[in-house]
């Protein structure tokens, strides 16, 4: 609506401060129970990793579709290992 009327959007500072306070209160309430807080951290990390895997899969599929549509040549994958000698 703000683009159509050419007006500046309403500030979200009030909403952000309320969200920040709610998050802080939530953290304070659960900080007393260390095991529950640790379990929540593990659950959040697992959820984020799961989301990342799904998004990487989508990106890979999209990249492959674009390469197919652009008629990129398929390369042969070599199964040979690359060995790099590092000397001190």
Cβ within 8 Å of residue 10, ≥6 positions away = none
Asked whether the whole model's pTM tops 0.75, one would answer: no
Q: Which of 40, 18, 43, 15 is nearest to 29 (CA)?
A: 40
Q: Which residue has the tokens 């304070």?
A: 28
Q: Which of 17, 42, 37, 12 is nearest to 26 (CA)?
A: 37
pLDDT tens per residue, range 16-61: 778 888 878 777 776 667 787 788 889 999 999 999 999 999 999 9
What count of other Cβ atoms lies within 10 Å of the Cβ of residue 37? 14
pLDDT tens per residue, range 2-21: 556 666 656 666 677 788 88
The span from the CA of 48 to the CA of 53, in Å, is 9
More reliable by pLDDT, 25 or 88: 25
């Amino acid at each position: 609506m703000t683009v159509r009327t050419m007006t500046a959007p309403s500030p979200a500072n009030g909403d952000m401060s309320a969200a920040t306070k709610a998050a802080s209160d939530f953290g304070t309430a659960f900080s007393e129970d260390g095991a529950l807080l640790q379990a929540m951290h593990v659950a959040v990390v697992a959820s984020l990793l799961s989301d990342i895997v799904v998004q990487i899969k989508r990106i890979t599929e999209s990249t492959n579709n674009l390469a197919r549509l652009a008629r990129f040549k398929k390369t042969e994958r070599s199964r040979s290992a690359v060995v790099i000698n590092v000397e001190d």
